[in-house]
Amino acid sequence: MADRRYTKTHEWITVDGKTVTVGITDFAQSQLGDVVFLELPSVGRKLASRESFGVVESVKAASDLYSPVAGRVTAVNDKLTSTPELVNSDPYGDGWILKLELAGDLPSDLLDDAGYKKVTEASS
C-alpha cells in the first residue's frame, strides 16, 4: 500500500489530487474490538491537522478521531451510521470515515508502511 500514509494515533489517509480519504487502521480497529458507534463531523466543517473530529465507540472503549491533515470535510461515510462494524470488517475499504479537500501540504510526520509497522510493534 505505497499510497497510504499513517499517523501515530492510528489514522490512515490516501490522497487523490486534493481529495484525502481518512479512516482508522486495521491495528486500531483490532485494539478497539467491535465498533458500535461513530460520531462523524458535518460536511463543510474545516479541520486543522491533528484536530479531533469525532469519536469511535466500541464494546471496549471510546476513542477520539483526529484529522491527519488540514482541510474541509467534503463527505462522510453515511453507511457507518447504520453499520459501524464496517470499520472492523473493512477498515481500508468500505470502512473509510471521511473525505477532506486538502488545505496546504501533507504533514511531514505522516508514516509510510514501514514506519507505521514500527509504531504498532512498539504498542503490541
* Secondary structure string (H, E, C) spanning 53-98: EEEEEECCCEEEEECCCCEEEEEECCHHHHCCCHHHHCCCCCCCCE
Q: How far apart are CA 37 and CA 29, in angstroms?
A: 12
The 3-state DSSP class for residue 39 equals strand
Q: How far apart are CA 75 and CA 100, in angstroms?
A: 7
pLDDT per residue as tens, the chain (124 positions): 448 999 999 999 999 999 999 999 999 999 999 999 999 999 999 999 999 999 999 999 999 999 999 999 999 999 999 999 999 999 999 999 999 999 999 999 999 999 999 999 987 6
Domain 4-123 has CATH 2.40.50.100: yes
Average pLDDT, the chain: 94
Q: What share of the chain is helix, strand, coil (3-state, %, to 5)?
A: 20, 35, 40
| pTM for the predicted model, two decimal places | 0.94
The 3-state DSSP class for residue 116 equals helix
Question: 3 CB contacts (<8 Å, ≥6 apart)?
Answer: 14, 15
Q: Residue 1 has what pLDDT? A: 42
Q: Residue 5 has what pLDDT? A: 97
Q: Residue 123 has what pLDDT? A: 77
